[in-house]
């Protein structure tokens, strides 16, 4: 992963590689990452909203969708 991506923080990898290479890397991850890895993959798209989120297994972060926009819930606020 560190060959193509910058590790922005622990286990968060970011890259600006071309679509063809990104697709190849994503396919590799789907073939080789076990379900328990809980990988979240963000991929840039040329159309709105500009990205897609794909997962492998059950990630530690919760995903949601609001009006068709995929989002990652970082922290829930307790309602009182």
Residue 80 pLDDT more than 70? no
Say if pTM beats, i.e. exceeds, 0.85.
Answer: no
Rounded mean pLDDT, 15-30: 83
Structure token digits, residue 71:
């989002």
Nearest-angstrom CA–CA distance, 9 and 45: 23
Residue 30: beta bridge partners?
none
Q: Give tens-digit pLDDT for 25-62.
A: 888 888 998 988 888 888 888 888 888 888 888 888 88
Rounded mean pLDDT, 7-28: 80
CA-closest candidate to residue 41, choices 31, 32, 29, 24: 29
32/19: higher pLDDT: 32
Side-chain-side CA neighbours of 6 within 13 Å: the count stands at 5
């Amino acid at each position: 992963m560190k060959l193509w991506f910058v590790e922005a923080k622990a286990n968060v990898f970011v890259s600006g590689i071309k679509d063809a290479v990104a697709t190849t890397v994503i396919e590799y991850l789907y073939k080789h990452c076990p379900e328990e890895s809980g990988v979240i993959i963000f991929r840039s798209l040329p159309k709105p909203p500009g990205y897609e989120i794909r997962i492998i297994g059950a990630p530690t972060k919760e995903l949601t969708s609001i009006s068709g926009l995929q989002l990652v819930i970082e922290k829930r606020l307790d309602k009182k």
